Amino acid sequence: MKTTRSPRTSLSEALAHIAPKAIATALQRKLGFGNSFTPAGERGRQQRTRYGALRISDVAYGSRFPNSYLDVYVTDADTTTVRPTYVFVHGGGFIIGSKASGDPSAGPVGDFEVICRPMLDAGFNVVSVGYALAPEHCYPTPVLQLSEAVSFLQREGGAYGIDMSRVVLAGISAGGQIVGQFVNIETNSGYARAIGLEPVMTGTLLAVVLDSAALDVERIGRPQAPAPRQSYLFALARRVYLGSRRAVWAEADVTAHVSRHFPPTFLADGNAGSFPDQARDLHERLNGLDVCNELHLPQAQGPVEHGFMQSPSPLTDEYNQQKVRFLTARLSTNPVGTEKE
């Protein structure tokens, strides 16, 4: 059963209507994020990471929108072995963040290695996708860009050892909303027709991972155990990305539009300043549709923050163990590391 929504507007939601575009733009500049058609570095630069992977940076996947670049991390620096692939979409409230980060709006974060390395160690290649930021580029631009990135990987992924028949789509926070909506377009034909966006995948997804995801944007400004800073940032994110029309919020609601064709899903969140109630709602909805899924909410005495899984900690280690176990089980009929023909 879906959590009851409060009809009242919170203080954070009210404040988010005051000069939202100007504030979002100032926040971007202060934190060093923005939109550009020029990559951060040399296109296609190859570099070994300190943990042995090959990183191929700033690969262009499209040209219509800024930030249309992705980074590929290749396990053991071996592009001759076709591996299952973990495609990651960063967070940052649709306003900040990049493919080299997790979710900057969650506060202090670790290196991208915290997100990437456990998947490499499990035998996956990793792709991190950049996308254009609001308020300059609003809904549904990032969803369109994820479609472009997936289409590019379907065409060109073999050159990087990417097996798109065994792909996991993952997103954190705002990235989780983008991923969830993209997957609904791919798996719910009625929804795709209703919003006028075309599916692009030629196969099925191995699984989906949604970390601290904003699944119901109507409630985004009212997280559980709210912290004023995060509540305001979430409300600001909705205002500049989706606007103020409830019909658009309803269209972007991930949970409301899942179908029985939704892929196996791993859900995780903390308990403070985040959306565990929304994760539970999706968990229950998927159970009702008989869709394989697992909900991971750490059992901790103290606060577990939004996006906890991007910072090193015993709780993050536990999260990674459970996630890898869930994803590995999905691979049981399709072994890791198939050699190219």
Q: Residue 316: give the domain boundaries.
A: 17-332
Per residue in 112-151, pLDDT (tens digit) is 889 999 999 999 999 999 999 999 999 999 999 999 999 9
User: How many Å is the Cα radius of gyration of the chain?
Assistant: 19
Place of tokens 């993050």: 316
Flag whether 154 is in a domain. yes
| Phi, psi of 222, deg, nearest 5 | -130, 65
pLDDT tens per residue across all 341 residues of the chain:
455 444 467 778 888 889 999 999 999 999 999 999 999 889 999 999 998 999 999 999 999 999 999 999 999 999 999 999 999 999 999 999 999 986 776 655 556 889 999 999 999 999 999 999 999 999 999 999 999 999 999 999 999 999 999 999 999 999 999 999 999 999 999 999 999 999 999 888 999 999 999 999 999 988 887 678 888 999 999 999 999 999 999 999 999 999 999 999 999 999 998 999 999 999 999 999 999 999 999 988 889 999 999 999 999 999 999 999 999 999 985 544 333 33
Residue 9 lies in a domain: no
- The answer to the question of residue 63 being in a domain is yes
In a domain, residue 264? The reply is yes
Separation CA 333–CA 157 (nearest Å): 22
Residue 10 lies in a domain: no
User: Residue 334's pLDDT is what?
Assistant: 56
Please state at what angle helix 228-242 crosses helix 20-31, rounded to 10 degrees.
110
Q: What is the CATH number of the domain that holds 68?
A: 3.40.50.1820
For residue 42, is it within any domain?
A: yes
Distance, in Å, from the CA atom of 113 to the CA atom of 120, rounded to the nearest integer, reads 10
Query: Of 148, 142, 195, which Cα lies nearest the Cα of 173?
Result: 142
Q: Which residues contact 283 (CB under 8 A, 6 or more apart)?
A: 267, 293, 295
d(CA 17, CA 195): 26
Distance CA 148, CA 144 (A): 6
pLDDT of 105 reads 65
Q: How many domains does the chain have?
A: 1
Q: Is residue 8 part of a domain?
A: no
- Residue 340 counted as domain residue: no
Instruction: Identify the pLDDT of residue 225.
Output: 74
